[in-house]
Chain A
């Protein structure tokens, strides 16, 4: 087996054709190899949902947890063994809707973990209902008249709660996603990476998110410059 394939499990992913999760999986594997991490020293705690199904496809110490609870499980793991690289994954439904309280407090405590939000704008695996981060006006199975609420931003919540590393990236940009994940993992303290990956089944006609997206090479100095800017991409804020 080639060195780079150590992270493969030989299982076939269950995602739909064209799903952003294929690229997220690639970016994670690339980031782990580039950082020269031993798979046995990496823990990924998975939420429930499409992206969480990655548990079968990444050969690290994977732990499929509960909906909304990948963060508190990760926090306990890191407290018990600080030598481990600990990553908590979840969709926007898991991290922002169901597990919002954990996001706030892990950011407040600056827990030394990396949180990935796989933001596909809907509850995908339950077949397309609106989540807390569904864009306003979007028609979904649970909002046939259009979502009446402004979406919540995981980055905004984490920023005002005290997170020390904030980044947003597109799943389609494998290279930048990989680099951002590497920086997030290396960061000492709470790091959050929001990966925008609109669901290819339930929101495939929604294109507005592409409007005005801007990539920034350097992080901003203050969080107020990024609050409310859902179109900003890149490493947006770092406080060492």
Chain B
């Protein structure tokens, strides 16, 4: 088969388009295909145009596409919305014109899957198995959907394609949020406070099913971060998850965690701003906000995972970093990364090592002269929890005991103590490729599209930052030695490019977009070519 195949399914909200993307891609995984499912949906619950793009290939899939091979639309409106995206020689189907006799409209999405499956000429057994898996909780609904698959399959006509996957691969299929939740749980998270907001809603849904976690549904994001800080102070590994709007409310809490030295993990799923922006679309425009949010100066770590494995790894590691350094850790994701479905081999996931490190803790031997903010060579003081001994925790400037103070000597000492805590932080980036020409730079979700690009263009290298703050020191040296640097990011001004320019004292090229959509495969080709 060709490199990859791209399908789009489009229909009004409420017709099961997002579910169809999941079922379809997982059925493809069963046949040994890697998949990427990119959903787009408006901010409404019924009607409109929900759509999923499913890209699949026997090899890893890196990015969604602007042009598709096959479109299936549930109605005339959706059909005309996407008809132009179909490649020459591709196929576009208005499913409302296909004569179907299914028992209930509810299963129309399954009929569509059967129909597409036949066009693709794939083994219906794999799709049936996946339907059985997805609808196993309700026998009646399962049978309805199985019938619908069969009906749809009966109506489709094979297009004479020969699509073959690598059958023996065990392929995992997860949304970014699912991978992140797996990481959070592996990282020993014990308390989560989450107020709903796109694109982190499914994190709340998953954690609500998790018995091992104390889940708080706060009245607002302010209560969210404050309660998580309280829980962390009382000894639990604690987190919040939100998007830019909620994070705006959390900023005062972030500063409190900074000065009071309380570990906290903040998952910040970026979406298109400013303000309400485009609520269900993606963005990487909160980078500088995350790095600088809060009055005054305090140390913080900002992570920017770029794929499933990194989401899992940083989801775990965020809690270690927060507790070891006693700082807020912000994990930047975005709507594209959080809600799209990606796939990877099961082996790749199992390789990730997980261990819990709680950092310096209170020792009963020091019971009589314990100081919560003891000055130490690395700036990090042992942490006690209430119930172990009395101690003071303070959002005011304070002395080693935690008493509120205003004198300049103590102020200088405590600022120096806090600001040196992250000096030992290593790593934070990865270099891909063996070329010796231009260096591409990614952070967060642009990693996928750029890995796909350098695979096609091996003369390029990629440096990917999974930690954007503190800026990895060794990466600075690497970039200083590079001839030409192109920073690719989904924001209007080039926020990470600004940071790099400041670090290396040199201009870099910028490939930017801020239209709410991720970088598409063909698009990245053109944009990078324009840099020449």
Contact = CB atoms under 8 A, between A and B. Distances in A.
A55 B253 contact: no
Contacts of A101: 219-220, 222-223
Given A61-B391, A83-B387, A77 B234 contact: yes
B393 interface: yes
B193 A84 contact: no
B403 A80 contact: no
Interface in A59-92: 59-66, 69, 71-81, 83-84
B389 A76 contact: no
Interface stretch (A39-47, A130-138, A204-212, A217-225): A39-47
A81 B235 CA distance: 8
Contacts of A84: 234, 386-387
A104 interface: yes
B386 A77 contact: yes
Given A64-B396, A65-B256, A66-B395, A76 B387 contact: no
B203 interface: no
Contacts of B230: 45, 63, 72-80
B228 interface: yes
A62 B392 contact: yes
Q: In the complex, which of the residues A72, A77, A84, A102 has the most CB atoms of chain B within 10 Å of its own CB atom?
A: A72
A55 B235 contact: no
Given A40-B390, A65-B256, A81-B387, A73 B226 contact: yes
Contacts of B403: 9, 11, 55-56
B108 interface: no
A64 B234 contact: no
Contacts of A61: 386-387, 390-393
B253 A69 contact: yes
A72 to B, nearest CB: 4
B386 A43 contact: yes
A71 B191 CA distance: 17
A73 B229 CA distance: 7
B231 A77 contact: yes
B251 to A, nearest CB: 11
A33 interface: no
Contacts of B193: 76
A1 to B, nearest CB: 12
Interface residues of B, number: 42
Nearest to B389: A40
B390 A72 contact: no
B372 to A, nearest CB: 10
A105 interface: yes
A179 B386 CA distance: 25
Interface string B356-396: 00000000000000000000000000000111111111111
Nearest to B388: A40
Q: In the complex, which of the residues A43, A60, A79, A105 has the most CB atoms of chain B within 10 Å of its own CB atom?
A: A79
B254 to A, nearest CB: 11
Given A59-B390, A61-B390, A83-B387, A72 B233 contact: no
B216 A79 contact: yes
A53 interface: yes
B390 to A, nearest CB: 5
Contacts of B234: 43, 76-77, 80-81, 84
Contact of B216 (A40, A41, A62, A75): A75
Interface in B258-295: 260
A59 B391 CA distance: 8
Interface residues of A, number: 37
A80 B235 contact: yes
A55 B394 contact: yes
A105 B387 contact: no
Given A63-B393, A69-B226, A76-B226, A56 B231 contact: no
B386 A66 contact: no
Contacts of A80: 190-191, 214, 230-232, 234-236, 238
B387 A73 contact: no
Nearest to A79: B214
Contacts of B231: 76-77, 79-80
A102 B256 CA distance: 18
Contacts of A56: 392, 403-404
A77 B228 CA distance: 8
Contacts of A78: 230
A102 B235 CA distance: 22
Contacts of A39: 390
Nearest to A14: B404
A65 B193 CA distance: 18
B173 interface: no
Contacts of A62: 392-393, 402
B54 to A, nearest CB: 41
Contacts of B218: 72, 105
B252 interface: yes
Q: In the complex, which of the residues B226, B393, B404 has the most CB atoms of chain A within 10 Å of its own CB atom?
A: B226
A62 B391 CA distance: 7
A85 B193 CA distance: 21
Contacts of B238: 76, 80
Contacts of B65: none
Contacts of A72: 218, 222-224, 226-227, 230
Interface string A103-131: 01100000000000000000000000000
A55 B402 CA distance: 9
A11 to B, nearest CB: 6
5 contacts: A42-B386, A69-B226, A76-B228, A81-B234, A81-B385
Interface of A: 9, 11, 39-43, 45, 53, 55-56, 59-66, 69, 71-81, 83-84, 101-102, 104-105
The 7 closest A-B pairs by CB, nearest first: A76-B230, A76-B227, A72-B226, A80-B234, A61-B386, A105-B219, A72-B223
Interface of B: 190-191, 193, 214, 216, 218-220, 222-224, 226-236, 238, 252-253, 256, 260, 385-396, 402-404
Given A72-B218, A81-B387, 4 more contacts: A73-B229, A75-B230, A78-B230, A79-B227
